[in-house]
Chain A
Amino acid sequence: MPFSINETMGQYSELFMLLAAGTYTVAFIAFAWDLAKSSKTLRAVDLKAAELSGAAAEANAARVPVGVGAGAAAADAARSDADVSGPAGRAERPTSATSRPDTAAGAGQTADGSMRYAGERRAPARVAVALTVLGAAIHAAGVITRALGAGRVPWGNMYEFLTTGAFVAVAVFLLVLIRRDLRFLGTFVIGLAIIMLVAASIAFWTPVGHLVPALQSYWLIIHVSIAVMSSALFTLTFAMSALQLVQSHRQKTIAAGGADKLGFMRLVPNALSLENLSYRINAIAFVGWTFTLMFGAIWAEKAWGRFWGWDTKEVWTFVIWVVYAGYLHARATRGWTGTRAAWLSIVGYLCVVFNFTIVNQFFNGLHSYSGL
């Protein structure tokens, strides 16, 4: 028999969620400020460099800035870094023997390709991360009180998927931040978390309640938690793939002598580094998604008597899996790496979002547990 409901806890939880959303909003502003400010300073550095290098370099001005600002810092970071486990700006896609011109490191580029923390301080970014940590702590309290209030794991309906999912996304982001300087993704991740929290509180609000019998299974704990974690990783790679497209376009423009209109992209590593890291994260997430699919099938067998029935939710989970399998293959297929692979990663994530929103709400199926 399920535990009894504790409404007070539920109310605390909602309060925490609001506070977390508020904190995130400030963090979001700080991240945005960081982007704006850094792009300005970097531009100033570039201008100075261009002046110094004089008339002779003028023709090449767009390509020179490489080594100046953060370049030295990058070298710094690398020196202190003995284990070097990253693709470390090695401008080569491990699976394709030749590297292509547009992927060459350089061209209007400042961020360190290995995504290590550089020596230079970015005060707004630090503030943003600190605020994110604070927000995540409050958010965690919200998730935990929700669980206590309902007497079970806090992922049984859309409201809970959104609030817990947002927390996991932020937590995964913070965990990756420990090892990699992904602060350039801050606006995206935190922005998404805010949207999820707001959507949960406004459109999907559900009071604490018991689970329907079909969800009362330990498979809920296993299957859904893995799905949420994989989705959080896919979220990161989605952002990185999107930036990769922008960055590779920008690199090409600059290499062709065009003007650099997207100054803030200097904070973002080169397209190839983005591609390499998002590949690695996608590989982990793909394994996670494989487990999601498998455990879902095992659970379906327990609950409904068949492990696969092409229920709408099953269809979309399968589609997502196949798209990311396609992505992994693309990385090993000539002519499909780089931009095309990034598109696959983006399409895959759009399917994840679709599966979570539209399918949960508007498609009838055995999985209609959105709690609406």
Chain B
Amino acid sequence: MSERVNEKKKSPKPEAVLPTLGPLGMLRWAWTQLTSMRTALFLLLLLAVAAVPGSLFPQRPANPAIVTQYIKDHPDYGSILDSVQLYDVYSSAWFSAIYILLFVSLIGCVIPRAIAHYKAMRSQPPRTPARLSRLPEYGTLVIPADAGIPASAAITDAAELLKKRGYRVDVRDRDGARPSLGAERGFLREVGNLVFHTALIGVLVSVAAGGLFGYSGQRILVEGDTFVNTLVGYDQFTPGTNFQSSQLQPYSVQLDKFDITFDRESKGKFGQPIDFTAAVTTKENPDAPAKKEVLKVNDPLSLGGTSVYLTGNGYAPVVTIRDGAGNVAMQGPVVAKLQGENYYSSVVIKVPDAKPEQLAFAGFFLPTAFVTDKGVSFSGDPELINPQLTLNSYFGDLGLDAGSPQNVFELDVKKLTPLNARNLDTKGIVLAPGSSYTLPNGKGSISFDGVKRYIGVDIHHNPGQLYALIFALLAVAGLVTSLYVNRRRVWVRTGTHEDGRTMVEYGLLARGEDHRLAGEAAAIRKLLSDDWLLGDEAATGSQPAPSATADNDRADKASTATGSTGAGGTHAAPEQPAEDFIQSTAGSSESKKDQ
């Protein structure tokens, strides 16, 4: 990337250029801006900022009811927030704009880089610089004349060693006076970076595809109930944009039994559920053999391309209701909705089949009923120790025939006449299992037959999920590769000194962040001197670059060059380093720098 960055800095200030640009030039200018690293950085930071409000305000996709309530509670600014989509942050125009721009920018960056990298991988390492001593890592070796290794053999040896080390090597001017080689390795770094960024696009596309072709729904199952995966089988269903009902495979799930374990050990958490286990019988399709399975939290069922999750549970009191005519108008479990501690739940029973008048009940179910001195009832334990139903009753027209859908958990009593209520003479109805109550005025009766448990399940189908995972894994692999593979270049030049010794100099350059370059230089030095039997002194002698003092020397040079007034004064930094090492007077295996 550094090249790209460098290129940028050379271009003149955009403002200065603007007036002279034609429409095409404008477009090109906009594109260059959009695909620049600076813009990418800006968009990334903007994305981070833009994601925050979604955690501050309630979000519609997660919880529409809370959003409605929030708008009601804040009449002053509630609807203003809505108009700028702060309740739908992640599908809002502005959030989408940021990430779409980011990804356009990313594509605009990835494609040219991929092409450039493809070319780089096929081309030879760059030509040998005239002054190797200017490279960040530089060192020299001297092969004695009597070793019988001429300059051309030395360069061949070095080429062999570097090839073994994974470098791509190009030898230049092998039989000339100054043979040299250029070597490069670590092309995977850039590949990793490209894979990483491309995989991010893959993740985004997979998520979008999941939204298009997936679906999800909910269903409540009382013990004994069976869910069949058809549209009518769902209590609630949310199709993706491109959903077709033929996608549903008609598998079935029957809830046989549901068990909860409550914490009876720890003090602070006494009575908290610590295990939910649903025993179910499943069939892949109506004709398939039945299979016993266990459904737990964190352990969904996989059926017909969907996953079935255990997301809720509660009690369902079983009641029998007779109408004024003495007929059974309703019989079965009623799902009680959790309201408070210890399964304190609300109950709504609507009996549209009751004759002559429709009946309705609303009240509470308590698994372990307690009543305080003040007459407030609460549930003392989640388990069925003293189950109790306390209900008010009503009669009249339930309005169910009008056809408009009603919430089964809510009862609109406006058009109904109360029969039993705490503030009436008749008082409320209080039932224990096995007991029954006869309604006033011969309206009928209700009996509390027993209690079952129910579970809530979520069913999801998301075809994008697997691809999102694959791309995410690719992204991580790319990331790790690009962070930990180092791209390096090595140049070696050899020559023969007038006195017959073979002089070798080498330099290393890293592309991108590479804190192990000095280590690599030392390793290469060691390999070369071992190969030429230069002995330990050359291998570990004072000449290799990796020493803090040498580095500081270099640093000081750099700062002098950029006009720093820093404390570089102690070293005499030569403005013209190493004219020619090979014909220098270097008598031993000392690097120029250390003289």
Contacts and interface: CB of A to CB of B under 8 A. Distances in A.
Q: Is B one of A's binding partners?
A: yes
Contacts of B41: 326, 329-330, 333, 336
A293 B415 CA distance: 52
B229 to A, nearest CB: 15
Interface string A77-120: 11100111111111110111111110011110000111000000
25 contacts: A4-B265, A66-B570, A78-B548, A83-B519, A84-B518, A85-B515, A87-B515, A90-B518, A90-B555, A91-B554, A106-B568, A210-B263, A210-B266, A216-B274, A297-B472, A302-B298, A303-B298, A306-B460, A307-B465, A315-B55, A319-B48, A326-B44, A333-B41, A336-B41, A363-B55
Contacts of B558: 91-92, 98-99, 104
B300 A287 contact: no
A1 interface: yes
A305 B5 CA distance: 43
Most chain B Cβ neighbours within 10 Å, of A83, A96, A105, A207: A105
A311 interface: yes
A150 B555 CA distance: 55
A307 B468 contact: yes
B6 A97 contact: yes
Nearest to A218: B298
A304 B456 CA distance: 12
A322 B44 contact: yes
B41 to A, nearest CB: 5
B289 interface: no
A206 B272 CA distance: 14
A209 B266 contact: yes
Nearest to B549: A75
A64 interface: yes
B469 interface: yes
Interface string B526-542: 00000000000000100
A279 B514 CA distance: 11
A194 to B, nearest CB: 25
Interface string B383-403: 000000000000000000000
B486 to A, nearest CB: 10
Given A90-B555, A104-B566, 9 more contacts: A92-B136, A213-B296, A287-B480, A304-B311, A305-B309, A310-B59, A323-B48, A326-B45, A334-B38
Interface in B546-572: 546-549, 551-552, 554-556, 558-559, 562-570
Interface string B226-269: 00000000000000000000000000000000000101011111
Nearest to A4: B265
B47 interface: yes
Most chain A Cβ neighbours within 10 Å, of B38, B45, B273, B552: B552
Interface string A51-90: 0000000001001101100000011011100111111111
A109 B479 CA distance: 35
Interface residue SS majority, chain A: loop
A208 interface: yes
Nearest to B539: A82
B307 interface: yes
Q: How large is the interface on A (under 10, 10 to 19, 20 to 34, 35 or more residues)?
A: 35 or more
A283 interface: yes
A88 B546 CA distance: 9
B522 interface: yes
Contacts of A216: 274-275, 297-298
Contacts of A4: 265
A309 B48 CA distance: 16
A334 B11 CA distance: 13
A301 B472 CA distance: 14
Interface string B552-595: 10111011001111111110000000000000000000000000
Contacts of B90: 310
Most chain B Cβ neighbours within 10 Å, of A210, A283, A286, A297: A210
B4 to A, nearest CB: 9
B274 A211 contact: yes
B476 interface: yes
Contacts of B1: 95, 332
Contacts of B564: 101, 104, 255
B110 to A, nearest CB: 14
A113 B555 CA distance: 12
A139 interface: no
A165 B510 CA distance: 37
Most chain B Cβ neighbours within 10 Å, of A63, A89, A310: A310
Interface in B367-423: none
A44 B1 CA distance: 46
B276 interface: yes
B54 A315 contact: yes
A212 B8 contact: no
Nearest to A83: B519
B153 interface: no
Contacts of A219: 298
Interface string B33-76: 00001101100110110011011000101100000000000000
